[in-house]
Amino acid sequence: MQRVTSADGTPIAYERTGDGPPVIVVGGAFNDRNSAAPLAEALSAHLSVVRYDRRGRGDSGDTAPYHVDREIEDLSALVSEIGGTTAVFGMSSGAALALRAAAAGVPIGRLALYEPPFVPDDEVERAHARKRAAALRSLLAEGRRADAVVEFMTGTGMPAEMATRMRHAPMFPALEAMAHTLAYDTDVMGGATDGGAIPADVVASVPVPALAIYGEASPERTAEITRRLADLLPDGRRTVLAGQTHDVSPEIIAPVLVDFFTA
């Protein structure tokens, strides 16, 4: 494990494996750098993979107050540490963070995005996302971390009974330990402000080739949003992975990423 210091002094922990052009993996909700280890292994014969703990997770620091700009600075510090321009792969809410970083001028050469969980551009959907974001923040402010995890899970479409049963699952303490970062992901998605719809102004400012990817077995609304994102990107393209859901197989997505990043 290595560390780089972000602009506000926050230490950001990362690991680098493999040979080839560099790519940084930006994880989504409940992900730390270990979550990307299987993908790093699948890519490592062709790419040098950097996986890191976003602030507030794992071995990285967490300087208050939080702002999305600080996470963009974290990613910028990693790019500078690696040297030059690097590719970035963003998973779920990590894809939205990668989009914002590219639009902000972080020197990213190519950008791949897997199923960023934006909501449809509809006022009812946006109002629902704002309500969920407010409920999550309220639970976290009251110190009800376990309830916040359940609230988040139901907000992603998990049946309430299943989400409640997760309290007894072996992995639940790890989820609870990262519960405070769910508010960070909500901010990255714009849930509390514009209701989590695709930020068209941000997307229009992405100056690099970008690949939007979704799974064939994911919900149709996910496919529609990903296709819409690809259409809005100035240099965007899209692809669909047969048989895949949001929990994408590293062995299935790895060849697609290698082809795109080494083109």
Q: What is the CATH number of the domain that holds 29?
A: 3.40.50.1820
Average pLDDT over residues 45-60: 97
The pLDDT value recorded for residue 89 is 98
Residue 71: pLDDT over 80: yes
Burial label for 206, CB within 10 Å (0-12, 13-18, 19+), is: buried
Domain count for the chain, please give it. Answer: 2
User: Do 31 and 96 lie in a common domain?
Assistant: yes
Is residue 155 predicted with pLDDT exceeding 90?
no
Concatenating the DSSP letter of every residue in 65-117 gives: SP-HHHHHHHHHHHHHHH-S-EEEEEETHHHHHHHHHHHTT--EEEEEEE---
Pair of tokens at residue 1: 């494990």
pLDDT above 90 as % of the chain = 84
90 lies in the same domain as 23: yes
Same domain, 92 and 220: yes
Q: Is the pLDDT of residue 157 over 90?
A: no
How confident is residue 64, by pLDDT bands cut at 50, 70 and 90? very high
Full domain range(s) for residue 159: 123-189
pLDDT given at position 50: 98
CA distances from 129 to 158, 186, 187 (A): 15, 9, 11
Mean pLDDT, rounded, of the chain? 94
The two three-digit tokens of residue 237, written as one number: 């393209």
Specify whether the CB–CB gap between 78 and 15 falls below 8 A: no
Task: Of 38-52, 143-157, 224-238, give the lowest mean pLDDT range.
Answer: 143-157
Q: At what angle do helices 181-189 and 68-82 cross, to 10 degrees?
A: 90
Burial code (b: 16+ CB inside 10 Å, e: under 16) for 35-71 equals: bbbebbebbbebbbbbbbbbbbbbebbbeeebebebb
Indicate whether 158 and 230 sit together in one domain. Answer: no
28 and 114 together in one domain: yes
Per-residue pLDDT, averaged over 34-56, amounts to 97
Q: Domain boundary at 189, 207, 231, which? A: 189
Does one domain contain both 111 and 161?
no
Convert the pLDDT of each residue in 80-114 to its tens digit: 999 878 999 999 999 999 999 999 999 999 999 99
Regarding whether 225 and 99 lie in a shared domain, the answer is yes
Domain boundary pick from 189, 213, 237: 189
**Are both 11 and 85 inside the same structural domain?**
yes
98 and 23 share one domain: yes
Domain end residue (candidates: 189, 212, 238): 189
97 and 203 co-located in one domain: yes
Q: What percent of the chain has pLDDT over 70?
A: 100
The residue with tokens 């990262």 is: 178
Considering the domain architecture, whether residues 211 and 174 belong to the same structural domain is answered as no
- Chain segment 197-241, per-residue pLDDT in tens: 999 999 999 999 999 999 999 999 999 999 999 999 999 999 999
pLDDT at position 22 is 96
127 shares its domain with 243? no
